[in-house]
């Protein structure tokens, strides 16, 4: 599910980082996204197995341009919803480690259905062709002896 989230965020053309993974010695890009997976809890069960999971992500957008901080998350919310994600609310302000940047965060969820495999069925009955194939192999072995 992380890759699906990253794929949507990458459509903006800004770098996407796992929250906290940037090198402390590297300069911040002018604008970028971060994300963090808070949980991926089971939410429904059937036949002693999870039938659904809810992925909970924090998605943050940081920029040195305050106008982008106010507009990019609005568009990100629309794109995420179009991709099947659930975005709670319109976001919230987030702190930045750099005084040159401000940020805005979104609470993003995705409900993943867990489709269990079909239970094994009965073994198929052998067909008459299968019997003929076995006889041919036996006949061939007998001819070589």
Percent of the chain surpassing pLDDT 90: 58
Q: Which two tokens stand for residue 83?
A: 């991709």
- Least confident among 63-67, 101-105, 133-137: 133-137
Rg of the Cα atoms in the chain: 27
42-93 pLDDT tens trace: 776 677 776 788 899 999 999 999 999 999 999 999 999 999 999 999 999 9
**What pTM value is reported for the model?**
0.74
DSSP state of 13: S
**pLDDT, averaged across the chain:** 85
Residue 17: the pLDDT is 95
DSSP string, 32-64: EEEEEEEEEEEEEEETTEEEEEEEEEEEEEEES
Residue 7: the pLDDT is 97
Higher pLDDT, 87 or 128: 87
Percent of the chain surpassing pLDDT 70: 79
Q: Where are the domains of the chain?
A: 2-119
Contact residues for 59 (Cβ-Cβ < 8 A; gap 6+) = 5, 9, 33, 34, 35, 76, 80, 105, 106, 108
User: Contact at 8 Å (CB) between 70 and 63?
Assistant: no
What three-state secondary structure class fits 104? strand
Higher pLDDT, 64 or 136: 64
Spatial strand order of the sheet with 86-94 comes to 16-18, 31-46, 49-63, 102-113, 86-94
- Least confident among 6-10, 28-32, 113-117: 113-117
For range 93-98, the mean pLDDT: 92
Pick the CATH number of 2-119 from 3.40.30.10, 3.30.2000.10, 3.40.1280.10, 3.40.50.300: 3.30.2000.10
């Amino acid at each position: 599910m992380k890759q699906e989230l990253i794929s949507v965020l990458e459509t903006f053309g800004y770098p996407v980082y796992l929250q906290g993974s940037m090198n402390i010695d590297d300069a911040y890009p002018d604008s970028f996204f971060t994300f963090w997976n808070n949980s991926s809890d089971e939410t429904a069960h059937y036949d002693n197995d999870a039938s659904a999971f809810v992925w909970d992500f924090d998605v943050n957008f940081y920029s040195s341009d305050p106008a982008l901080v106010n507009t990019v998350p609005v568009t990100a919310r629309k794109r995420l919803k179009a991709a099947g994600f659930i975005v709670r609310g319109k976001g919230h302000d987030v702190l930045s480690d750099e005084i040159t940047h401000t940020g805005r965060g979104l609470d993003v969820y995705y409900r993943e259905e867990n489709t269990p495999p079909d239970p094994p069925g009965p073994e198929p009955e052998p067909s008459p062709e299968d019997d003929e194939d076995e006889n041919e192999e036996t006949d061939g072995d007998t001819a070589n002896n």
